[in-house]
Amino acid sequence: MNFIIESPKFQIIELAELKWHLRIEHDYEDEYLNKNIEMATSIIESYIERPIIKKKYKYLSHCDDKDRPFRIELPVRDVDLILSVKQKLPNGSRRKVTFSVDTDRDRTFILINEAKYPIEIKYTAGLIERSHDVPGDLRYATLQVAKNIYSCHDEDVLASDCIKDVIDKYKRVTIN
């Protein structure tokens, strides 16, 4: 199971930017529009199979004793940093585990020699760290998806080929 344990306070696009894009001047839909931004971001992250904004994750893995060494694939692409690898012991305590990291394309694997108990891996992953680092085309695609959610025109909010063309390249790229 993979959990986000820490996420930055900024969004890919700001509420004011979406309101300007939709030509909305009132405030009574602000909470709903913020949810649209969150949904749009989530949809794009699912489509490009990686987080856009760097987040801290905790992944719990239940290894099978039959395979040695254990190779655990982290479920998120663009892993930036492994913070810790620990075994969760039956008494509730955690013990550090010696590990190495292996990568294959943009996938990250944790290699450990022993996994009698569940393994807890904390790591950070994502394309960007600060809001002003969001590429303009990705910001625009997020605006368009949020607009489609708001307007409810398409069942597939990514239906526009223009949006897919813009974000397709983020399936394969790392932004430094």
Q: Please, which pLDDT band fits residue 156 given cuts at 50, 70 and 90?
A: low
Angstrom distance (rounded) from CA 13 to CA 176: 20
Q: What is the CATH number of the domain that holds 47?
A: 1.10.3230
Evaluate whether residue 176 is within a structural domain: no
Residues 140 and 110 in one domain: no
pLDDT of residue 117: 84
Contact predicate 12/139, CB 8 Å: yes
Residues 66 and 107 in one domain: yes
Residues 72 and 110 in one domain: yes
Between 65 and 171, the higher pLDDT residue: 171
Domain edge (last residue) among 125, 140, 161: 125
Q: Residue 99 belongs to what domain range?
A: 55-125
pLDDT at position 67 over 80: no
**Using alpha carbons only, how large is the chain's radius of gyration in Å?**
19
Evaluate whether residue 75 is within a structural domain: yes
Closest CA to 75 of 57, 62, 88: 57
Evaluate whether residue 70 is within a structural domain: yes
Angstrom distance (rounded) from CA 36 to CA 155: 15
Residues 63 and 94 in one domain: yes
Task: Name the burial class of residue 173, with classes exposed (0-12), middle (13-18) and buried (19+) by CB atoms within 10 angstroms of its CB.
Answer: middle
Domain count, the chain: 2
Strand, helix or coil for residue 71: strand
Evaluate whether residue 7 is within a structural domain: yes
pLDDT at position 176 over 50: no
Residues 78 and 90 in one domain: yes
Residues 146 and 87 in one domain: no
pLDDT of residue 45: 87
| Angle between helical axes of 136-151 and 161-168 (0-180°, round to 10) | 150
Q: What is the mean pLDDT of the chain?
A: 83
Residues 10 and 37 in one domain: yes
| Angle between helical axes of 136-151 and 30-48 (0-180°, round to 10) | 120
Residues 18-60: pLDDT tens digits?
999 999 999 999 999 999 999 899 888 888 888 888 889 999 8
Residues 65 and 114 in one domain: yes
Domain edge (last residue) among 125, 141, 162: 125
Evaluate whether residue 147 is within a structural domain: yes
Q: In terms of residues, how long is the chain?
A: 176
Strands 55-61 and 2-6, bridge-based pairing: antiparallel
Residues 36 and 62 in one domain: no
Residue carrying the six token digits 């405030």: 27
Residues 67 and 42 in one domain: no
Residues 27 and 80 in one domain: no
Whether this model's pTM surpasses 0.85: no
